[in-house]
Amino acid sequence: MPPDPQVEFPFRISRFSHVEYGVRDLNASRKFYVDTMGLVVTHEDEGCIRLRALEERGHHCLRLVQADRADVRAIGFKVPDDSELDRAREFFEQRSLETAWCEPAFMERALRVRDPWGVPLEFYARMDRLPSLHQQYRLYRGVKPLRIDHANLFVPDVDGSTSFYGSMGFRLTEYTEDAETGRKWASWMHRKGNVHDIAFTNGRGPRLHHSAFWISNPLHIIEFLDLISTTGYLASIERGPGRHGISNAFFLYVIDPDGHRIELYSSDYQTVDPEHEPIKWDIDDPARQTLWGAPAPRSWFNEGSVFAGTEPVEPVYAGTPIVAP
């Protein structure tokens, strides 16, 4: 059974906010994320490019950092005000997790911590605010990304991660369970009131499975397929288009020049009511991953981005998903 929803939270989290990728070629990443996908550059120097999507007022949702190898440096969450950072620090230190204060560029103080499996988390309350772009339609290009939506992680213990993040205040919306063992294969959890801010998938981990951008209209994703198929990015298409059973979202998965997986995500549903009851799926139900569309390829279950400073381990559960032939 899923845990009861939290009523009182140890600290408040507003939403998933940003991700930092280590990339081997900033120029190639810029061409992919800016010229092709349509994200907007907010700051660029020799070693880092910061980007935002079209609806976002915060300075950036994506940091691309020049690196010797492709990896993930941080998964970021916004909290409502600065006092929540002190409460967050107390929460983690009570669980013997080491915390550190930092002041990333274009942000005020931030709290960094690794979860019990080594996922690098970054919490902040204040980021530089920028003028709205959402009605500057001359800037709409590529897939017209409006905002960053969620992160999905491979983890070695989905039940453990679901419980830990639940204690942090994330609410469960949907989950996949093995009826025979009662173990979770995957779970989807939120703070902002849609299907998820963070999700956990059984696998060698922790690794980042994907980060996702919210697209207002599935037709933009179809148009984006026309664009990338004629501009040298046809091979970047990994999965889709299709519709997930879980989340009901219209989706496309593409792979960036460093192997980081990006989901383009549209048309999920609202989960703001506190009495929202989590939806349970059986691991053997193919509709959970694909309501319609081709089944997921094996790479979708096996390949992910490593977190800097953390060595992945094999999962405690050895269930077998449904994969494309």
State the pLDDT at residue 322. 64
15-129 and 146-306 share one CATH topology? yes
Cβ-proximal residues to 276 (8 Å cutoff; 6+ apart), any chain: 5, 171, 173
pLDDT, greater one: 295 or 311: 311
State the pLDDT at residue 1. 52
What are the pLDDT digits (tens) for 149-170?
A: 999 999 999 999 999 999 999 9
Structure tokens at 140: 């709409």
pLDDT, greater one: 324 or 280: 280
State the pLDDT at residue 232. 97
The matching CATH number, chosen from 3.90.1300.10, 3.40.640.10, 3.40.50.300, 3.10.180.10, for 146-306 is 3.10.180.10
State the pLDDT at residue 83. 98
What are the pLDDT digits (tens) for 184-205?
A: 999 999 999 999 999 999 999 9
Q: Which CATH superfamily is domain 15-129 in?
A: 2,3-Dihydroxybiphenyl 1,2-Dioxygenase, domain 1 (3.10.180.10)
Cβ-proximal residues to 318 (8 Å cutoff; 6+ apart), any chain: none
Q: Where are the domains of the chain?
A: 15-129, 146-306
Lowest-pLDDT choice from 12-16, 28-32, 153-157, 319-323: 319-323
What are the pLDDT digits (tens) for 251-266?
A: 999 999 999 999 999 9
Residues written for the chain? 325
Task: Write the DSSP assignment of 8-77 as a string of letters.
Answer: S-SS---EEEEEEEEES-HHHHHIIIIIII--EEEEE-SSEEEEE-TT--BS-SEEEEE-SS-EEEEEEE
